[in-house]
Amino acid sequence: MALKYVVKKTTFGFDKEKAEKYVARPFNVVTVDFKMLCDQVTKVGFVPRGTVKSVLDGLIDSLITYMEIGASVSLGEFGTFRPSFGCKSQDDEKEVTTDALKNRKIIFTPGSMFKGMIKSVSIQKLDSSKSNSSGTPGNGNGGNGEGGNEGGGEAPDPAA
């Protein structure tokens, strides 16, 4: 398996000429939802689906509990979750209040397993002539929302 990308024309607004350039954009073949993930873990781990769902629900609840108090949560080789936010810069220290805070977010830093995978995975350009028949490539849902098998051939194996 390989990561796929499409080439998109983009206008950059930060320069005076508003230059149009071409950039590679990731193309997500399919979005794996919670049910699909639980089913896959059940197949790989030989654990009943209800147990998998219960453990993942407990993990999510625990992540929320710890991040609400400002803690980073490490899941070993999986990675680390930490709460964060941005802040508008102010001229005076007294102006830096909660009103200046913006963009609350959770940052995920991948662990060693994910870092190794992403460094070694191959990357391929998606043939735009195949993808245009069923939708616009690069919209994040596989073009047609049905699993992303745009150009025929093999469908992605969710067990792989």
Residue % of the chain over a pLDDT of 90: 61
Predicted confidence band at 130 (pLDDT cuts at 50, 70, 90)? low
Does residue 13 sit within a domain? Answer: no
How is residue 102 annotated by DSSP? E
Q: Where are the beta strands (DSSP E) in the chain?
A: 2-11, 20-27, 73-74, 79-87, 101-110, 122-125
Using the predicted structure, report yes or no on whether residue 158 has a pLDDT greater than 90. no
Structural domain harbouring 47: 32-122
Does residue 88 sit within a domain? Answer: yes
Number of domains in the chain: 1
CATH code, domain with 113: 4.10.520.10
Does residue 55 sit within a domain? Answer: yes
Residue % of the chain over a pLDDT of 70: 78
Question: How far is it, in rounded angstroms, from Cα 139 to Cα 124?
Answer: 17
For 126-139, the DSSP string reads: --HHHHTTTS-TTS
CA distances 125 to 25, 56, 104, Å, are 10, 34, 34
Does residue 82 sit within a domain? Answer: yes
Contacts 24+ apart (CB under 8 A), 18-21: none
Question: How far is it, in rounded angstroms, from Cα 52 to Cα 106?
Answer: 23
Q: How many CA atoms lie within 13 A of 17 on its CB side?
A: 4
Q: Which of 41-45, 92-96, 118-122, 151-155 has the lowest mean pLDDT?
A: 151-155
Does residue 136 sit within a domain? Answer: no
The pLDDT, as a whole number, for residue 149 is 38
**Global confidence as pTM:** 0.65
Predicted confidence band at 121 (pLDDT cuts at 50, 70, 90)? very high
Does residue 131 sit within a domain? Answer: no
Closest CA to 36 of 52, 21, 23: 52
Does residue 140 sit within a domain? Answer: no
Does residue 108 sit within a domain? Answer: yes
pLDDT digits (tens, 9 = 90+) for 17-59: 778 889 999 998 899 999 999 999 999 999 999 999 999 999 9
